Structure formats: C-alpha cells, structure tokens
Structure 1
Amino acid sequence: MTTPHLVTRDKTRRIMVGRVAVGGGAPLAVQSMTNTDTRDVAATLAQINRLAQAGCHIVRCAAPDMTAALAFGPICAASPLPVIADIHFDGRLAVAAVENGAAGLRINPGNIGDQRAVDRVVDAAKAHGVSIRVGANGGSLPKDLLQKHGGPTPAALVEAVLGHVAMLEARGFEAIKVSLKSSNVLDTIAAYRLFAAQSDRPLHLGVTEAGGLLAGAVKSAVGMGALLLDGLGDTLRVSLTADPAREVEAAWHMLAACGLGRRGVEIISCPTCGRTEIDLFSLLAAAEEALAGVSEPLRVAIMGCVVNGPGEAAHADVGIAGGRGVGVIFAKGRVLKKVAEADLLAEFIKAVAVAQAEYRQNNS
C-alpha cells in the first residue's frame, strides 16, 4: 500500500475577508461569483444562498454602477457569506460598496483611476476593516507592461501585481491578497510560482475565462491542481461558463483530488466496458442528482460489474456493483444485499442514509 502524498502548504500572511480567515495556514476558501444583476437584490441573495448550500465560503458580486454598489447594503445585510465587490474603472463604486457592507474589494491594477482615486479606496477600506484583492488578468494589463514584456507574460502579470501591492503598502494598507490569472494554463502556473517566490501575500487561485463546464473544469484542474500540489493557494475560484454552483462543486472535487479538503459525496464509478450489463450511465446520473444535497464527506461507488465491484471499491463507504438485471449493495467491501436493477437506486440511497447517520454519530 502506497503512502499518500501530503501537501505542505506555503506559509502566507493571514488576512480576514469578513469572518473568513485567508492565508497563514487557514483552510482553503472556495469562492464563486454571482451572475445575477446585482441591482436585483432578491435574485442575487437567492443565488448567494444556493452557493452557500453548495459549500461556498466567499462570494463576489459585480458593481458596474452606483445603483449596484448601493445594493450591497441589503445584500450584505442578509448574505450568509462575506461579499466582495468587483470593481473596475471607478474608485467611487469601491467606496460606496465598502460603506454599504462589502467585506472586500477586488480591483485591477491600472484601471481604478488616478492616485487620488486609489487613496480614497484605501482610506475607505482601512476605515471599514475590509480586505483588497489585487487582481491582474492577462487580458487587461496596462499597455506599458505589455510593451515592456512583449505581451501578457507571467513576468508582466507579476510586475503588475507587485506594483499595485506596493502602492497599497505605501499607504500603510496590509489586508491584501493577490491573483495572477491568464486563460493560458501554463502562463497562470508560471505567474503564481514567480510571484510566490517574491512575496508571502496570500494567493487567490484561478484560471480566468476557462470555458464551459467540461473544458473549463479540466483547464482549472490542471492549472490550479499543479499550484495546489506545490502548496500554493489560499482561496480559489473555478471560473466556468456555467451555473456558479457548478464552480463550487468543481472546486471541492479539485480539493478532494489534491487531498486538501472534502465536502459532500465523492463518487467513484467505472468507465464501463463490454462486461457492463446494467444501464450504468442512467444509474450514475440519478445517483448524482439524489446525492447532491449530502454534505457528509462520504465515498460511494457505482460499479458496472462484479470485477470492479466490492473488491476494487472496497474502500467505499457504500457502493453498487451491477450484473445482468440485478446488482449488489455493499459497504466497505461487504455485500449487504442483492436487489433487482429497478430497485438499485432506492436501496443504494437507503444505504447512504445509514452511512450519513453513522458519520454524524462518529463525528458529533
């Protein structure tokens, strides 16, 4: 039996985003961003509540105009999560969002305004005890840096972030975290590594504009997975062109795969082959839907035949192994019962409920 590799996380400074500790050895925080119109308070709060139920720790909302910035008042008052204001171009929006309860700001180097605008933002952040994320994206770097580095290179991203961090530090502001995102996975990895070698500021990980559900999750897993296994990262967001709740789901799968955190059910399922004699695809889809609300970190298996059944999935808390029109329900390698294919899902859910109760009892 191989010994699992344990990730040693890089030690960064600690800041607070509302009540959530970031950096300094705090647990990795999962973030997402609402895609509702922030001015629609009810819709935005409904989505934030869904994200919280999915396991999100911090949420970001756009503040494209003053009406949206003022909407942070009722949103932050009712949100179960700390809310970060996403600010571009207009420092007045940052000040308004902070004054209306935002727990943090996300600003981009070079587009927040002149020095006076930066001063006003920093003064407001200090006065209200909020954090600032300095975010650089490959697609929105200042022209002088693009010319100097010949494009949005990792070095250009790092220089942009270090320059803006220095501006905040010069004003005595320390509650800073940073992100250095590119839609190019290799550039993203290189930028974070380069920055981490020069600074101990906490890092928010992400591959920007990653794409749709499948392609985006793969790109994010490759980019952020490499960094997480390096020990880098204090918060993360999987940026997908999809329901924001799927971002949170993908983030937890990523953390579980890296041995850095588990939430909810981890499903193990075989890829199917010529031995499969049950409708495993439909069974898996139904099981995923039925288990979506389970928060206990259980490992379950959906296996298509006895070859890949209780033996290979013996470590699963609960599992199914299929046969011709029938299947067995097993737990930790021990067969519990044999049932008809039509009853497999219902019996499986019952067995999962038992495992949930046992987990709660053992961890109360």
Structure 2
Amino acid sequence: MATISTSWVDRLRSVLGGYEKAGMPFDRSGPNTLTRVVVGIGTIVIGVIGLLSAPSEEYSGWGAVATAAVSLTSLPVGLWICVTHRFRGRTVVGFVAWADVSVTVCMLLKEERLTAIGGTALFSVLTTLAVIATPLGVCLAHMAYSTVILAVITVNAVLWQAASLWVIAAHTLTMLLVFLTPFVLLVHLGELRSQARQSLLDPLTGLLNRRGLEDAVLRHSHAAESDTLVLETVVVDVDDFKSVNDRWGHHVGDTVLADLARHLTVVTAGRWVVARLGGDEFACVRLTDGSRTADELAVSLTRVAMVAGYTMSAGAADTPLPDRSPAAVTEAMTAVLRAADKRLYDSKSRKARGADDNVRGHRGRRGDDANATG
C-alpha cells in the first residue's frame, strides 16, 4: 500500500515539476494545427447541437432563447479557432473559461434535469484541452469548477424529483468517472514530461542541454503574445579552463562548472534561459520584443571571478525570429549561437593579445631599468 501511495505522489510531483528544475517557467505552447482545427470543429458542432436542442422539449421560454443565443456564439468562435494562429497562451485559458460558463448556462436551463447531468460530459472534453494547452493551475481550477457544477445539477435533479435517487446517483457517478478520464491523461503526461525532461538536462549542472535549450525557446516563442520577436544569446566559457583540469583534476573542474552554472542562474534571475552547450561553454538565451540587453549581460559576466580566481569570456548576438515553427527556431538558434561563439573567441583573442602586450611591456621596462643601472 505504501508503494502505491509513493508512486502516486511521485507521479503528481512529476506533473508539478514541469521545467522549473531547469531554470525556466512552465508554460505550455499552443495546440498544434491539427489539435486546433479539431477544437474549432468541435466547438462548431457543439453550437449546432445547442441550436437543435433549444426548440425541443428540453427547454422552454426564455431558457430556449438563452440557449440558442449561447449556441450561436459557438459558431464564429469555432471558425476563428480553425483559421487563427493566435489560439495559444491566455487565449486558450480564456476559451476554456468561456466554454465553462456556456456549458453551465445551457445545463442549468434544461427542463430535463437528468439529461442535464449527462450534458456535463462536455466539461470532460474541455478538460482534455486544458490538460494539453493550459497551465496546471488553470487545469485543476477547471476540474474543480466542473465538479461543483455537477453537484449543483445533481442537487437540482433531486429537488425536482427528476428520477429516483438511485437513478440520479448512478448518472452522477458515471459523470464523475468520465471526469476522471482526463485526470489519468494529466498524470500520464506528467510521467512522459518527467522522462523527457531528463533527456533535456545536463546531469552535472542541472541546466538545460542544447536540445533542451532549443525546446525551451520553441515553447517560449509559442507562448509569447508579441508578433515581432528577437532571439538574444550570450555564450560564456571559462578562460584557460583546460589548465584547471590539468593542474587540479576533473573534480575541481566540475566544481568550477557547477559554480558557473549557479552564478549564471542567479545573475539572469529567470529573465534568461540558461543552458550548458558542452564542456565549459554555456549559453543564456531569451526572446524579446525589442529591448536588447545581451551586450550588457556579456560585459557584466566577464567582470566576475569564479572559483580559484578564474575569469570568463563572453560573446553576444541576436537575430529576428519571424517564424515560430520548429525548423525556423532551429535555424535561428544555430545562427545566433554561431555568431555569439565567434564574438566569444574574438574576445579571447583580444585578451590574449592584451596579455602578450603586458608581458612585453614588463620585459621592456626591466631592460630599461638594467640599462639605466649599467
């Protein structure tokens, strides 16, 4: 029994975990095109069903008028969902809230209280969309709301003696089981997300790896409300890192890398997505709608000394992100990382030339001192 309980706790934790452990907020991108079209068509079909039901014996008087009016709104909403690319983020949350209210109104106005209980199955359909495309808090709030409305409709059916208590109880329990189906999907997706997250993380630092960074940028681009996005990147590495491993051993090198990862996480403070690209090379990436601060971040990072006094070099670059498709994001990521990497090594070259000039300057001064003494 304890094993079963622990398993469920772990599953729920995996649902809640999201991407926070990787240093990025959990947000779901919008549904893909096929899912969006299915949702749009489903919304239109539900509207048509409401229009067909309104003049039937299930409704009467102003209840029929209200149901017809609510059902009519479903037609343009469903058509808009089918053709738009803006059905993501807050728009999906707003749609779920609107649909919840619409279903509630239509079910509470039904004259046939027993069929109203069965009609709450529409909440379960909405829950499936909420699981896929809304934050966990919104999804759980929707599920709680659905259960409360089912309870209200059940009490209403009992008060109006729509059927025997046994029949009403059977219908209500059936709906509760239907409500649980999306919850199973929620837990299963949490397990899959937890497994996928492990493949996107660097085991030494706990930061995202290159694949995880690309996935994070794709998700952020889908969640962004702005139409014009710029991808900013700062690439960082430790100066003369090879000497750390050669002189002190790999365990000290790992300590330096872990220290750098913590420092980058603190400095970016959630405003940037931080990842380890490989070796001692790290990247800080963010999407912006105009304000560009990559150069400032790069300069501030090069002024900090790490463990044992080692310093960093950094290179910054940015590029527009006109298309939010996976292929476009991959292309933009490759281009901006390559540009930032080039500036990183240009910075290292300038440091090396500056160090050589300093050495030659010191030698020259020592020679002048010797000549003066002679």
Q: TM-score range by the shorter chain?
A: under 0.3
TM-score by structure 1 length? 0.27
Which protein has the bigger strand share? 1
The structure, 1 or 2, with the larger RCO (C-alpha pairs under 8 Å, 6+ apart) is 2
Which protein has the bigger helix share? 2
TM-score by structure 2 length? 0.26
